[in-house]
Structure 1
Amino acid sequence: MTHLPQEHGPLEPRVLQAAEWDGWYDALETAFGSAESPERRAMWQALTEVDRSLAVWDGDRPVGAAGAFSFRLAVPGGAVLPAAGVTMVGVLPTHRRRGVLTALMRRQLDDVHERGESLAVLTASEPGIYGRYGYGLASWQLGVRIDRARARVARPAGEPVRLRLADPAGSAADCERLYAAQVPLRPGMLARRPGWERVALFDPPSERGGRAPLQCVLAEDRADATLLGYARYSVGISWEHGGPGGEVRVREVTAATPGARAALWNYLLELDLTDTVVAASLPVDDPLLHLVSDPRRLRSQLSDALFVRLVEVGDALRSRRYAAPVDLVLAVEDEFCPWNTGRWHLHAAGPEHPAACEPTEDAADLALSVRELGAAYLGGCTLAAQAAAGLVRELRPGALARASAAFGWPVAPWLPHGF
C-alpha cells in the first residue's frame, strides 16, 4: 500500500463502497470545477464499477479519486481486447502536489495488471499529466463545422438506399448491433457493454439548451429493409434578420456501406432551416473528407483523443497484427511498471499471421519507453515520427523504417465516444 505523509496520518487509496459514491463524485465535481445535471450524474452512477473505483481519504472526506471501466478495445487486425478505461480521475486543490495522483495511478495499474488486462486507456482533460505514468497519445479526432450552403455530398449510383426517421430509443437495439459489427474494423473503437447505449442516447431536456430532441435517421436497403447505417443528431433553429440560421449537431454517423454513408451525410447537409452542420468527433481519415464537394467548407479542427498504456508489453504486442513482416528487438523502459522494462523480441510474418513477443537477451534494434510504444500501438502514430522528435532511438540501421511500417495500419484509429 502506498503511504503519503501529511499532518494527520497517511493518505492511502482504497476501493470505494457503494454508499460512498455521492461524496466521491462530489469531490470529482469540485476538482473539475463543475456541477453536472441530476440526469447526467445518475447515468454515471449507474455505469460506475464500484469495485474498480478508488478514493484517497483525508479523515472522513474523499480528496482524490480514480475509476475504471471494463472495456473491450479493437486493435489492429480485428482483435477486441480487454482494456481498463481509466476515468473519473481528480484531486482536490487542497491536496495537489502531495503524491495523491501518483498513489492512485500506482494502485490502479497494479490492479489492472493483476486482472490480466494488458491495456489501459484514457482521455485526458490535461494531456500533459499522464505521460509520466506511461500513457501515449494513440489517436486523434477530427471536428468539422460545415457551411451547408457551400458543401454538397453526392449520393453514389448503384446502391439502393432509403432513409427513414425512427425513434432513437426504439431503434437502439438494431443500431447497436450495426455498431458492434463495425468495432473490429477500426482500431480504437470500444465494444459497448450493456448499459452504455444510455450514453449514446442521453438527451435530457435540461441539457438541450433550447435545441430539439435527439433524432435518428436510418439508412436501409430498399429491397429488404436491412439496416445499413444510422445517424443521430439534434437541430437548433435560430432566426437572424428574419431568416433561419439553424445548426445541426451530429452525435454519431455509423454506416456499413459507402452508399449508406453518403446518403446519411447528404441528408444532414440538406435539412431545412439550417445553415451549419457540426460534428465534434470523426476519424482523421473519415470518408467525408472525400465525399464533400469542397473540403475547405469543413472548417476542420484536430484534437487529441485516446491515450494508450501497455500494462503487459509482451501480451499487448502479441495480441495485435502487423502491417508488414517484422523481426526486431525492442529495448523498453518503464519506470512506473518495472515488469515491462527489458528487451523484447517481436516477430510477425505479416498481417495475416499472429505475432510472437518474448523477453530476450539479444541486442536491441530500437530503444523507446512504454509511452512511445503506447502511442504507436493502434497504428496511428508512427515510430518514425516519434524518432524524429527524439523519442525513439534506432540502434541498428534500417530497424526504424521496418518497425514503423509494421506498426502502421491502413485504417486510422478512432475513439467513437468518450468515457
Structure 2
Amino acid sequence: MTEIRVLSDEAQYRAHSTLFRRAMHWGPPTDEQWPVVLPSYEPGRVLAAYEGDEMVGTTQSFGGTMRVPGGAVVPHSAVSRVGVRADYTRRGVLSALMREQLSTTSEPVATLRASEGRIYGRFGYGLAGRVRFLRIDAKRAVIPGAPVGRVRMVDPDTSDKLLPELHTAFGLDRPGEISRWPGWWARAQDRKTSAENLVTVVHSGPDGDDGYVCYKVSEDKDFKHTMDIEDFAWANADAWRDLWIYLTRLDLIDTINVDAALDDPLSWLFEDPRVVYTKDVYDQIWLRLVDVPRMLAARTYSGTESVVIEVRDALLPANDGSYRISPDGAERVDAPADITIPVDLLGAVYLGDTRFSDLAAARRIEGSRFAEADALFAGPVAPLCSTFF
C-alpha cells in the first residue's frame, strides 16, 4: 500500500532528487551539484511515496506569492519535482501524492510546469498561460532614437544582492508572475552551472534602478554568436526600451533568443518588425485553484453583467458549488447555474488566457451566457510566469 511521508533530512532529500531525476531520464545529482541543489529543499514541503521501505514517487512545493488579475498578490505554491519510479507507474502513486499535497497545502493556488500535457488535468490543473519563444535577427534590429536612462553592467556579487531586491520590487508585473524563494536564487546564481558566463546589466531612470536583464552569449563553429536572455524584468516602458537598445546594439551578436508574453509588443520597437520571429508558442502555466471561493474573490472582473458558475472538483469537494461572478466580485450562492465547469478548466480561464466561449465551442463545458463570462474574466494583458521552477 502506498504511504505518503514528509521528508526531513539531507539523505532523504538526495534520494528524492535522484528518484525525480531518474523519472526525467537524467542522472543523479553529482557531489559538485548537490550543495547547490540542497538549499532548494524546504522542510515540511517535500513529499515522497513509499511502498514499504522503498521510495517510489516524489513531489515538493515552494511557498511564495502570485499576482492575479486586478493586481492582488496571493499566497502561492510552486509545485515541482513530480516523478514516479518507472517500475511503479500507473499504480496510483501519483494520485496519492497529488491528493496529499493539495489537501494539506496552506496556499489557495498552486501552479506547475507540465512535462506532459495529459497528466495534470485529472488533478485539477488547467492550462492557464502560454509563452512565445522569439528569435531576433540582431544584425538587422534597428531601434530608432536614443536611450533616455542609463544602463550599467554589474559584477556577480552586486548582481546576487541586487536582483532579488529588484525582482521583489517590480517582477510581479503580470497575472501569473510569482515571487522567488531563496533556493531559486541560490541555483540561479551558482557560478559553476546556471550563472556561468552570465552577464547582468541594470537600468536606472529618474527614480533609481527600474529594470535589469541577464544574458549569455555562445559561439558556434562558424563564429556566429547567439545571445540567450535568461532573466528580464522592468518597471516601466522606458526601462524596457532602453535595455533592448543596449542588447541590440552590442557588437558581434547575430541572434537573440528570448521568451515573451503572447501580447508582448517587442516587434513594434524595430524599424523592421520582421526582425522578430516567433519560433514557437508553448504551454507554460498550469494552475490549480485549491481554494476556489478565496481565489474567485481575490481577482477583479470586467464586463457589465453577472454570471452564475457551478464548479465541480472531484479531488477537493469543498470547492463544489455555485458562484455568482459580477463586476463587483464573486460570492458563493444557492442559485441556478448559467455555466457548469470542472475546476481544471476554471483554472484555465482564471488568468484570462482562455475564454469560456472557446471551451464551449470545444464541448468541454456546458451552459449559456459564455460571452458574458468572457467579458467578466477578460484582462488587459496576457498572463506570464518568467520564473522557471
CA displacement 1:278-319 (0-9 Å, x = unmatched): 11x221122313213333332212111111111111111001
The answer as to 2:386 corresponding to 1:413 is no
Q: Which residue does the alignment assign to 2:53?
A: 60
The answer as to 2:14 corresponding to 1:22 is yes
- Code of the aligned partner of 2:335: D
1:45, CA displacement in angstroms?
Answer: 2.0
Q: How far apart are the structure 1 equivalents of 2:137 and 2:373? A: 41
Q: How far apart are the structure 1 equivalents of 2:30 and 2:373? A: 47
Q: How far apart are the structure 2 equivalents of 1:236 and 1:249? A: 8
1:296 to 245, 253, 274: 274
Q: How far apart are the structure 1 equivalents of 2:33 and 2:262? A: 29
Q: How far apart are the structure 2 equivalents of 1:22 and 1:54? A: 13
Q: Which residue does the alignment assign to 2:327?
A: 348
CA contact (8 A) 1:74 1:183 kept: no
2:243 to 261, 264, 268: 264
- Code of the aligned partner of 1:118: P
**What pairs up with 1:279-358 in 2 under 5 angstroms?**
279=258, 281-300=259-278, 301-349=280-328, 355-358=329-332
- Code of the aligned partner of 1:304: D
Q: In terms of mean alpha carbon deviation, does 74-83 or 259-268 score higher?
A: 259-268
**What pairs up with 1:40-55 in 2 under 5 angstroms?**
40-55=33-48
Q: Look up the SS of the partner of 1:171 in the other structure.
A: helix
Q: How far apart are the structure 2 equivalents of 1:413 and 1:93? A: 34
Unaligned runs of 5+ in 1: 1-9, 350-354
2:217 to 198, 211, 235: 235
Q: How far apart are the structure 1 equivalents of 2:151 and 2:132? A: 26
Q: In terms of mean alpha carbon deviation, does 91-100 or 59-68 score higher?
A: 59-68
2:109 to 116, 119, 125: 119
Q: How far apart are the structure 2 equivalents of 1:203 and 1:384? A: 48
- Code of the aligned partner of 2:331: C
CA contact (8 A) 1:13 1:54 kept: yes
Q: Which residue does the alignment assign to 1:162?
A: 150
RMSD (CA atoms): 2.1
- Code of the aligned partner of 1:403: A
1:379, CA displacement in angstroms?
Answer: 1.6
CA contact (8 A) 1:136 1:373 kept: yes
Q: 1:411 to 1:38 in 2, by over 3 A?
A: farther
**What pairs up with 1:128-139 in 2 under 5 angstroms?**
128-139=118-129
The answer as to 2:356 corresponding to 1:366 is no
1:81 to 67, 74, 83: 74
Q: How far apart are the structure 1 equivalents of 2:19 and 2:185? A: 27
Number of equivalences: 386
The answer as to 2:2 corresponding to 1:11 is yes
- Code of the aligned partner of 1:379: G
CA contact (8 A) 2:76 2:108 kept: yes
**What pairs up with 1:194-205 in 2 under 5 angstroms?**
194-204=182-192
- Code of the aligned partner of 2:217: V
Q: How far apart are the structure 1 equivalents of 2:254 and 2:148? A: 28
Q: How far apart are the structure 2 equivalents of 1:298 and 1:169? A: 33
Q: How far apart are the structure 2 equivalents of 1:195 and 1:97? A: 31
**What pairs up with 1:392-407 in 2 under 5 angstroms?**
392-395=365-368, 399-407=369-377
- Code of the aligned partner of 1:137: L
Q: Look up the SS of the partner of 1:299 in the other structure.
A: strand
1:368, CA displacement in angstroms?
Answer: 1.0
CA contact (8 A) 2:23 2:85 kept: yes
Q: How far apart are the structure 2 equivalents of 1:415 and 1:252? A: 11
CA contact (8 A) 2:40 2:182 kept: no
1:102, CA displacement in angstroms?
Answer: 0.5
Q: Look up the SS of the partner of 1:139 in the other structure.
A: strand
1:259, CA displacement in angstroms?
Answer: 2.2
Q: How far apart are the structure 2 equivalents of 1:238 and 1:194? A: 34
Unaligned runs of 5+ in 2: none
1:57, CA displacement in angstroms?
Answer: 1.6
Q: Which residue does the alignment assign to 2:174?
A: 186
1:388, CA displacement in angstroms?
Answer: 1.8
1:43, CA displacement in angstroms?
Answer: 2.9
CA contact (8 A) 2:306 2:326 kept: yes
1:54, CA displacement in angstroms?
Answer: 1.0
CA contact (8 A) 1:214 1:232 kept: yes
1:238, CA displacement in angstroms?
Answer: 3.7
1:239, CA displacement in angstroms?
Answer: 5.2
CA contact (8 A) 1:56 1:63 kept: yes
Q: Look up the SS of the partner of 1:307 in the other structure.
A: strand
Q: How far apart are the structure 2 equivalents of 1:377 and 1:295? A: 32
Q: Look up the SS of the partner of 1:317 in the other structure.
A: helix
Q: How far apart are the structure 2 equivalents of 1:24 and 1:177? A: 31
